[in-house]
Amino acid sequence: MEKPLVEVEVEESKTQDKVNEEVRATSNSMIEVLSKSTNPKHRNSKFLKFLKKLAHGAYGIENEALVKNPEKLEEFRNMEGERLKEEVVRQAEEKKASGEERQKMFERMWNGEEEIDEQLFQEMMGQWEQEGQDQDEELRGQLGGPFGSQWQSQVPEIIKDVIPFEPKNTYLDDTLTDRLTLAKELIDTGRAQEAIVCLQAEVQKNAENAEAWRLMGQLYQENDQDEYAIIAFKKAYEIDPYDLDSLLCLGISCTNELEQKDAINHLFHWLKYHPDFNHLVAAIPESADNVELDMVRAAYLEAHALKPKDSHVALALGVLAFIQRNFPDAARFFEDGIRENPTDHTLWNKYGAAMANSQNIPAALKIYHQALDLRPNYVRTMANIGLAYRSQGEYMQSMPYLLNALLLNPQATHIWSYIRSSCLQMNRLDLLEKVEQRDPNLFRGDFPQLIDPARMPKQNLDRLYENEIWNK
Amino acid sequence: MNSSNQQTLKSAALFERMEALLKNHGADIAKKVQCVFLFEIKPAKNQAPVYFTLDLKNGEGRIMRGKVGQVDVTFSILDEDMILMAAGKLSPQTAFTQGKLKLKGNVSMAMRFSTDILPKDAKL
């Protein structure tokens, strides 16, 4: 049940065409780099020729084996002949060669044209990998390591507009009556992934259960999956437009996804539908598509003055400051929220995030650990701790936290890119091989700190009042 | 330099946060990158740019406000696009092909820049 839910479908739909499309795209960008090289060795390398054939479709890759397309190959040879003539002219001019020498040069290049067989193919694939570590000054900068790789390939846009539901959901069983209560019990016993699946069953049976959608959204948010959280919160909000909690949560997730206008708009509506505060935004027109952050912020400050002990108002003010990237202010508001609601792990995580973004990593780490004390399986905080270490170049320390986040939530696949990057920065190619296999368990030998998701510690309140926040 | 510009510049904190990274890991990065980047960041179109110099060539590397010393590559980009790029929501290549990121100087050196070294924001 705790296996990745998304990956399967994606893999199956990735057709052969798509693979070859990717091969062609990658080949094309490498060809671009190599053909522009000032070194004739690069311009005419076997490797470049191989790439060109791939890009042209003369060869394709099917089931990881090489296949030939004779028509395309012939077409390619004719084109290549033209290019070779130009290349000869270019080199001849560089070397000031005579007419006869030019003819010989051309023949040599033309005859150098060879069929690609399986052995040569393997050789070339090996070279593909090796180009990345080429010591050649010019190529190294363009193809090497983490640097330059971003310029070669377009990052595929992954659109996550539907929550992938668990296909074989045992919670759909009709003998189950109260899935919502069951989900809450699962959360309390630290089984958040299981709770998500249970809530998926509930909304399949009762699509109008706003609370189930909202709870699912909160779990996705804590699981470091804001895209799905936004979908779930929007469902809850559609069913119940006055659901204040969903509006506040939408404000948070949209901020994380850098959808600031949406975030401000949701926070505006939170005030608008709040019986205690709606008079504060009466002057802001309802129809406004783009509510000004300053106006919303001013209204929240009034709300804060009216009810200084309302931790939701403090939270919203913190989020607004976060949007403005005024992280010290955000930290102060989250602190206010924690004073009123000290056992809310999500407030501690937000407080830590504000501290980390305002360059105070040691304080942030301490605060994040408070959040983990309260919620030991809090995936978002684990990922945040990983990012905090990474932000000061402590890649080794970042690894166990990032891997633990993935052990708890294998669906948070974006975390693999941080791990990959950490391995590259550390020059740990041995670990990089394991990264490709996408199984955090493979790292258990390297990092004894890795957890067992089935055996998570219980909530620990011992250190709750040790934080400096209580001395202020 | 205009100080009010710097206050409203959203990406300023990103550059400032790089100090911690360079302190611990800068020498390693500089050895690989060997390039000085200048970032010309406009808070909005038609507004005066703010400059940050990212030296990934010398010693442990340095991040400095303003244009400092000999620069190999200049990146011109809008503040909001810089934030998207740092967050991994806009790849340098896409930004470049869409005209959101402009390059001046040695183009092959520009390719040595990776958004990997920009700090990622912690999430709420």
Give yes or no for B83 touching A (CB within 8 A): yes
At residue A401, does pLDDT exceed 80?
yes
Q: What is the pLDDT of residue A246?
A: 95
Of the two residues A435 and A54, the one the predictor is more confident about is: A435
Are A258 and B28 in contact (CB < 8 Å)? no
- Helix (H/G/I), strand (E/B), else coil: A23: helix
Q: Which residue among A138, A356, A361 sits closest to B108, beta carbon to beta carbon? A: A138
Residues within 8 A of A (CB atoms), B 94-113 only: 94, 96, 108-113
Mean per-residue pLDDT of chain A = 82
Work out the average pLDDT over A145-172.
71
CATH number at residue B91: 3.30.1050.10
pLDDT band at A275 (very low <50, low <70, confident <90, very high): very high
User: Does pLDDT of A17 surpass 90?
Assistant: no
pLDDT, residue A58, reads 73
Q: What is the pLDDT of residue A159?
A: 67
Q: Please tell me the predicted confidence (pLDDT) of residue A121.
A: 58
Query: For position A195, what pLDDT does the model report?
Result: 96
Same fold, A166-242 and A243-471: yes
Amino acid at position B121, single letter: D
- Between A115 and A256, name the one with better pLDDT: A256
Mean pLDDT of A326-333: 96
Let me know if residue B119 belongs to a domain: no
Domain boundaries, chain A: 13-159, 166-242, 243-471
The b-or-e profile of A335-361 (16+ CB within 10 A means b, else e) is bbbbbbbbebbbbbbbbbbbbbbbbbb
Range among A81-90, A125-134, A161-170 with highest mean pLDDT value:
A161-170
What is the per-residue pLDDT for A204?
A: 94
Chain B hits for A421, CB-CB cut-off 8 Å, are 116
Residue A4 pLDDT: 41
pLDDT value for A399: 97
Query: To the nearest whole percent, how much of chain A has pLDDT over 90?
Result: 53
Shortest Cα distance, chain A CAs vs residue B76, angstroms: 16
Is A418 in Cβ contact with B20 (below 8 Å)? no
pLDDT higher at A450 or A91: A450
Q: How many domains does chain B have?
A: 1
Predicted pLDDT of residue A140 = 42
B36 pLDDT higher than 60? yes
Inform me whether the pLDDT recorded for A232 exceeds 90: yes
Q: Is the pLDDT higher at B24 or at A35? A: B24
In the numeric block, which tokens belong to residue A467? 């934080």
pLDDT at B61: 94
Q: Identify whether B56 is part of a domain.
A: yes
Q: pTM here?
A: 0.74
Which chain A residues have a beta carbon less than 8 Å from that of B88? Answer: 155, 417
pLDDT, average across residues A251-272: 94
Which residues on chain B are in Cβ contact (under 8 Å) with A356? 122
- For domain A243-471, give the CATH superfamily: Tetratricopeptide repeat domain (1.25.40.10)
Using alpha carbons, select from A296, A287, A341 the residue that is nearest to residue A319: A296
Query: Quick one: pLDDT band at residue A182, thresholds 50, 70, 90?
Result: very high
Query: Which of B24, B91, B116 lies at the smallest CB-CB distance from A155?
Result: B91
- Is B88 at the interface with chain A, CB within 8 A? yes
Residue A350: pLDDT above 80?
yes
Q: What is the pLDDT of residue A61?
A: 64
Q: Do B114 and A138 touch (CB under 8 A)?
A: no
A446 pLDDT above the threshold of 80? yes
- pLDDT greater at residue A83 or residue A102: A83
Please give the pLDDT value at position A205.
93
The average pLDDT across A134-140 equals 42
Q: Are A248 and B124 in contact (CB under 8 A)?
A: no
For residues A119 and A125, give the distance between their C-alpha atoms in angstroms, rounded to a whole number. Answer: 10
Question: What pLDDT score does B116 carry?
Answer: 84
How many angstroms separate the CA atoms of A195 and A45, rounded?
Answer: 56
A102: nearest Cα among A110, A77, A43, A47: A110
Q: Residue A157 — pLDDT band, cuts 50, 70, 90?
A: low
Least confident of A46-60, A155-169, B24-38: A46-60
- Which residues in chain B are closer than 8 Å to A380, comparing Cβ atoms? 123
Alpha-helical regions (H) of A99-243: 99-111, 118-131, 137-143, 179-188, 192-205, 210-222, 226-239
Q: Let me know if B43 is exposed, middle or buried by CB neighbors in 10 A (0-12, 13-18, 19+).
A: buried
Strand residues in B34-80 grouped as ranges (E): 35-42, 50-56, 62-65, 73-78
State the Cα–Cα distance between residues A3 and B31, nearest whole angstrom: 41
Radius of gyration of chain A (CA): 28
Using the Cα atoms of residue A160, residue A161, residue A163 and residue A164 in order, give the sign of their dihedral: negative
Provide the pLDDT for residue A40.
63
Interface test with A, best of B15, B107, B123 (most A CBs within 10 A): B123
Q: How many CA atoms lie within 13 A of B75 on its CB side?
A: 28
Give residue A187's pLDDT band: very low, low, confident or very high (50, 70, 90).
Answer: very high
| pLDDT-based confidence at residue B89 (cuts at 50, 70, 90) | confident
B111 pLDDT band (50/70/90 cuts)? confident
What is residue A138's predicted lDDT score, i.e. its pLDDT? 45
Q: Tell me the pLDDT of chain B averaged across its residues.
A: 88
**Choosing among A151, A154, A253, A267, which should be mutated to test the B contact, i.e. which has the most B CBs within 10 A?**
A151
Q: Note the pLDDT of residue A150.
A: 60
In a domain, B47, yes or no: yes
A371 contacts: CB under 8 Å, gap ≥ 6: A345, A346, A348, A349, A352, A378, A381
Instruction: Quote the CA–CA distance of A252 and A256 in Å, as a whole number.
Output: 6
ipTM of the complex: 0.88
Partner-chain contact A319 B124, CB within 8 Å: yes
Nearest chain B Cα distance for residue A363, angstroms:
14
Summarize the confidence of residues A205-232 as an average pLDDT.
96
pLDDT level of residue A20 (50, 70, 90 thresholds): low
Q: Specify the higher pLDDT residue, B107 or B5.
A: B107
Picking from A256-260, A419-423, A426-430, B55-59, which range would have the lowest pLDDT averaged per residue?
A426-430
| Chain B residue numbers touching A148 (CB-CB < 8 A) | 111-112, 114
Residue A326 tokens, joined: 């005024």
Q: Residue B115: its pLDDT value, please?
A: 85
C-alpha angle A150-A263-A271 in degrees, rounded to nearest 5: 170
Weakest mean pLDDT among A279-293, A316-330, A442-456, B82-96: A279-293
Query: What is the Cα Rg of chain B in Å?
Result: 14
Residue A9, pLDDT score: 39
Both tokens of A292, joined, read: 């000004």
Q: What is the mean pLDDT of residues A314-338?
A: 95
Note whether B20 contacts A392, CB cutoff 8 Å: yes
A61: part of which helix (H) or strand (E)? strand A59-62
Alpha carbon distance A18, B54 (integer Å): 38
Confidence at residue A177, expressed as pLDDT on a 0 to 100 scale: 85
Chain A contact present for B122, CB below 8 A: yes
pLDDT of A142 above 60: no
Range of the domain at B30: 3-112
Which of the two residues, A62 and A132, has the higher pLDDT score? A62
Is B117 domain-assigned? Answer: no
CATH classification for the domain delimited by A166-242, as one of 2.30.30.100, 1.10.260.40, 1.25.40.10, 2.40.10.480? 1.25.40.10
